[in-house]
Amino acid sequence: MRELVTNCEACGCDIYCENGFYQGDEELRVCLACSSHVRTYTATLLRCFKEMESEENRVPMEAYMRNQFSFYGIKTPERNAALKDFVKQYGDPPLQELPSVTKLLWDEPGRECQYAALYLLSRQVKKLTLDHLPLLEELIVKKSWWDTIDGIAPNLAGSIFLKHGDGGYPERWITSDHIWLNRSAILYQLKYKDKTEEDRLFGYIRKKQDSKEFFIQKAIGWALREYSKTNPETVEDFIANEDLAPLSEREGMKHINKIRG
């Protein structure tokens, strides 16, 4: 007996269950052909990282991240060079397979794998659409820490929002109980400059200005500091008239104080 179950999330082909056996990759929700390609690509990258493993670097790198994640011990310059060489040799994943590659890398214990996923996403950021927002949201709430959030929010989500609209995601993020979604909502406009929606930025900051979370206070200050490079007078007036945490105020005024000398 052959029954149509679903479609491959990569290539779109039909996936059947035949005689009780699922003819696809249930974890990735893709067909067997796409699964083979995705898993081979990812495994090749993992072997590259394994060959670069450094116990000497691993310990301080894990300590810097408060021992929340394991590391291969590959420093950023070497990792970036390796990823560049890897893509030169094996190419970028096809856009339709990029989410599956991303998920596999995100599930790996080595933190460099999450950085690699963000690198591969960033290389195709201009091709990303609203359809990729559920994936980005999943990455924000899974294995969350500032190092991945600060790549996802302004570089990936922010780019999609600016080009395609936001689909209501930032509003949901700022009202969430998840601090990393809150931080993402505050930071996604970080690179917008004169395209910044000022009322939204200030409104989101007001919603979270009483937060005791360090990473929220820091995000508020960072967002204000960046926007002050475009509109210093408005930012200074906002800071003067709001009851911000000292950390947020200090960070937000850094550029303004610097240009004053």
> For residues 260 and 91, which has the higher predicted lDDT (pLDDT)?
91
> For residues 6 and 222, which has the higher predicted lDDT (pLDDT)?
222
Q: Check whether 260 has a pLDDT greater than 90.
A: no
Question: What are the distances in angstroms from CA 252 to CA 160, 208, 226?
Answer: 26, 15, 8
Q: How many CB atoms lie within 10 A of CB 94?
A: 15
* Each residue's pLDDT tens digit, 6-39: 888 888 888 778 877 778 888 888 888 988 999 9
CA–CA distance, 165 with 233 (Å, rounded to integer): 28
* Each residue's pLDDT tens digit, 28-69: 888 889 889 999 999 999 999 999 999 999 999 999 999 999
Contacts of 127 (CB under 8 A, 6+ apart): 95
Global pTM reads 0.94
Q: Is 38 exposed, middle or buried (0-12, 13-18, 19+ CB in 10 A)?
A: buried
The overall average pLDDT reported for the chain is 95
Q: Check whether 5 has a pLDDT greater than 70.
A: no
